[in-house]
Chains A and B, each alone.
Chain A
């Protein structure tokens, strides 16, 4: 039963990633693309955790933590660049 639920969840998160990529390509303005990237790294964290559950190993959780930190820093840097025109003044 758990394997079925796991596969259904992986399919749902993959569909979510595809919808994010659609918004990333289509997005009319630059903040839309940055927002799509923000959602994309959050969904990547969910996919990595699901991969760890599938393989039965905890080795990938540190990669997920690193993606969380670096994704936040990247989002803030891109938003700051859109607002000010430079990252560090």
Chain B
């Protein structure tokens, strides 16, 4: 395999895994639901995106052509992550989920 392609694959894999782990740590450690909403956004956009791009590079160096499925997965996840986050925030506002004192603004009071 081309060594530069291998370096690129390693770098993208490590970046993707690190961002997925950062998103999960934020989901487990942050004190509030509305701050925890950041977690899936990081894991989706950079984490899965970098892993999928490394998969594209790997299978194109093997001579199997550039696949459309990886691009479809990335495009679909990037499109749908803000929509699901918006729905979850609206349902949490409807249920009046408890927030910490440091969270500024109470949107359901208006």
Q: Are A39 and B88 also in contact (CB < 8 A) when A9-B13, A52-B55, A65-B72 are?
A: no
Take A5-B9, A12-B20, A61-B67 as given contacts and tell me if A76 and B43 are in contact as well, using a CB distance cutoff of 8 Å.
no
Chain B residues whose C-beta falls within 8 Å of the C-beta of A23 in the assembled complex: 27-28, 36
Is A2 in contact with B10, judged by CB distance below 8 angstroms? yes
Contact with B along A7-19 (1 / 0, CB 8 A): 0111111011101
Q: How many A-B residue pairs have CB under 8 A?
A: 159
User: Given contacts A13-B21, A76-B87, could you give 14 more A-B pairs where the C-beta distance is less than 8 Å?
Assistant: A2-B1, A29-B97, A39-B23, A42-B44, A42-B77, A49-B52, A49-B73, A50-B13, A53-B55, A58-B64, A61-B67, A61-B70, A75-B88, A83-B91
Most chain-B Cβ atoms within 10 A of its Cβ — which of A15, A16, A23, A83? Answer: A16
**A residues contacting the other copy or chain, number (CB 8 A):** 50
B72 — which chain A residues lie within 8 A by C-beta? Answer: 65
Interface residues of A (CB under 8 A from B): 1-2, 5-6, 8-13, 15-17, 19-20, 22-23, 28-32, 34-36, 38-39, 42-43, 45-46, 49-50, 52-53, 56, 58, 61-62, 64-65, 68-69, 72, 75-76, 79-80, 82-83
A1 in contact with B83 (CB, 8 Å) = no
- B43 A39 Cβ-Cβ under 8 A: yes
Does any Cβ of A come within 8 Å of B101's Cβ?
no
For B96, the closest partner residue in chain A by CB is: A29
A50-B69 contact, Cβ under 8 Å, with A15-B21, A31-B88: no
